[in-house]
Amino acid sequence: MIQSLISKLSIDRTPVACALLLVGIWLVFFLRLGTPPLFDWDEGAFSEATREMLASGDWISITLNGSPRYDKPVLIHWLQAASVSLLGS
């Protein structure tokens, strides 16, 4: 009786493992396809403008790569600068 249980347990599980792996890969890559991204595309621009503001010491005129950046309110840059000043870069 024990031998029959052992022989049933020792069947080849490679196809099942491959199928589960493929389903897992499919879920990871295709489940959220077409949904909005997790982060905004201009988050790096906010951080760089805040870094330039801290480097220049000009807390009023926000620039990005030397050109003025007036499309967003200055408060977000002030809050980021305060965070960087308190916590470090």
> What per-residue confidence (pLDDT) applies to 40?
76
- Per-residue model confidence as pLDDT tens for the chain (89 residues): 666 656 666 666 688 888 999 999 999 888 888 887 767 778 888 889 999 999 999 999 899 998 998 888 899 899 999 999 899 86
> What per-residue confidence (pLDDT) applies to 16?
83
CA atoms in the 13 A half-sphere facing the CB of 58: 11
Q: Which H or E run contains 64?
A: strand 63-64
Task: Answer whether 67's CB lies under 8 Å from 74's CB.
Answer: no
CA dihedral 12→16→22→23, nearest 10 degrees, is -170
Tokens 């620039």 identify what position?
A: 63
- pTM recorded for the entire structure: 0.54
